[in-house]
Structure 1
Amino acid sequence: MQFNTKLIPFAIAMAFAGSASAQEIIKIGHVGPVSGPSSHLGKDNENGARMAIEDLNAKNPQINGKPVKFVLQAEDDASDPKQGTTVAQKLVDSHVNGVVGHLNSGTSIPASKIYSDAGIPQVSPATTQTKYTQQGFKTTFRIVANDAKLGGTLGAYAVNKLGAKKIAVIDDRTAYGQGVKDEFVKGATKAKPGVQIVAKEFTTDKATDFNAILTTIKAKNPDLVFFGGMDSVGGPLLRQMKALGINAKYMGGDGLCTDALPRLSGDNAPESVVTCAEAGGVSPELQKNMDDFRARYKKKYNQEVQLYAPYVYDSVMVIAQAMTDAKSSDPAKYLPYLANIKYQGVTGLIAFDSKGDIKDGSLTLFTYRNGVKTKTEVIK
């Protein structure tokens, strides 16, 4: 297998060079929804984890002078909190050395206590709900910006850049959807106190018919609709908005901001309508690394990166780097090194604050041009 060794830091490459005999097996757990409405995002994440594991093992890795082999234990939480805690306990019982995941805040937050109780580090590449890192768990980390930054930035952008004056908000009642919606409202009203939130509606993360709430919203004549939730609901919602003649701008967070949105909305995601944000982003000087990763991913899986595969890749690599620094795969021994990591990854420099949030997290704003997700700007 060929891969770009520039994506693996020199320290890891040197520490991992060695014999493959008498290998210690290091289990990395990954959890995401590989079934259900968000399965395309969960599989994207799992693919990123597998790429990282394969890249590490291709270097014949060593830790503390002893050969090791990284093994991925991938589990499906189906975006369901109950299933999320079940598979979290399964990973604990399997004695994994670290966990990457979950995708959804609603599954990641309850699972985080299980990992904390077991002392197993959890690095999420996608969980944005602020509560995730505010529980006091020393094992909990994320490498993307949280909802306070994501939703707040979108709220300010809606009123200051898009000129929104009358806003309707909808969420899917999940921890993520409600959280990003609440932060959006805070950001919008703080940026322009006179802005009107003319409607507050909610649906579910499995809904398909939005006629009732959209009819209510249409009567309020908003110039912008914000949706807190995933693309599997947000796409059909946009399609039904247009069918009802709601000609408002449409905004959402990272769950909405996928390559699949045009397809899910019936190819109805023109540039003049949609603005969304991804809870991450690279500055221009790091764009080549991201482009190289995306090209490798497409060659390997014959599809484009959907959303967070690069952040999953970096999450695995961050755990591996911490183990290398600690000279141990024992969670109790490498956890302090993970908390103090400084790692230059595909997605940028990764370092954590005292709560486990990424320092100086970026956001990337996107629109859609000719049905293609297109970057507009990166905001620090």
Structure 2
Amino acid sequence: MKLTIERAALLKALGHVQSVVERRNTIPILSNVLLSAEREKVSFAATDLDMEILDDTVAQVDVPGQITAPAHTLYEIVRKLPEGADVSLSFQGDDPRLQVAAGRSKFNLPVLPAGDFPVMSSEGLSAPFAIEAADLARLIDKTRFAISTEETRYYLNGLYLHTVVENGEAKLRAVATDGHRLALAEMPAPEGAAGAPGVIVPRKTIQEARRLLEDASGSIDLQVSPQKVRLDFGSAALTSKVIDGAFPDYMRVIPRDNAKIMLVDNVLFAQAVDRVATISAEKSRSVKLAIEPGRMTLTVRNMEAGQAVEEVEIDYDGDSFEIGFNARYLLDVTGQIGGEIAEFRFADPASPTLVVDPTDAGVRYVLMPLRV
């Protein structure tokens, strides 16, 4: 194999694939990236056995061929080469090393046979449907903060992507919850999405997809099956196993009749929560909200660090009450509100609270209160 490629193109392709490779691997081949050179392009592939990312780019291929090389090492070498450099990659069958050269820099990297590299099949996937890159990024950004990191409840360790029909309208919906809070974002279902099965996309896959979306524009092709999901970003493609489990019936926890409605300036409220939470105990991070007509008083008490109190003006004219929340969860939710005003809908201090964005009807958040 012998090829020449522009450094920026090589860096971009390697950047897309190498992050799927775990830093520590008991299986040596999984530390490597697969290079496949043919005609006027070179393809790169990396996998952790649960997810595979492919990317290809234009290159001057003198001798076609395939080989695998250490993913992170190759990426770091290319990253540190001077901008605008032409990078030569060559591998001769009698020399068990990949030669990397650019200008006066030369590197020799150990290789493993391409035949040992595991390839993830794409069998059983549904017909692809197109979704705008910006729409998919919105679904991910509005919900991924609520994905659980608790491994025992593995079925919550991902984003539940599925279609629903409400009032005769099909919607593509993303939902995440960790049992303490829930995030839901939806959009009109793209054409062809209605027949696709609902899948729980793992947290790591969501992170990698969001990274690839930063370099994507236009529409993304999405395919799903009960076992896998595949996203095509143009030159790059991501295939991943999905979580084998049943996502809970989340609609049961979304309040419908919360009658106490409070409107608050989102930025001022978030800043106030952040300030008073400075002295909260790290484990509970609880903040008490005393809500009365026209104002809300935020209080945090810590036996060791003291007390913090702050008042915020609100639009509310119901009965006074007190309710507590985890400050981190409040900040996560307020961080997703796109408009100036956040709308909180309460029932009572022990029941779930619904938070909505008046400027975006397609998002809903649920927060479980704390005892304070």
Q: TM class, shorter-chain normalised?
A: under 0.3
TM-score, length-scaled by structure 1 = 0.20
Greater helix proportion: 1
Greater strand proportion: 2
Per chain length, whose mean CA-contact separation is higher, i.e. which structure has more relative contact order (CA < 8 Å, sep 6+)? 1
Give the number of the structure whose alpha-carbon radius of gyration is greater. 2
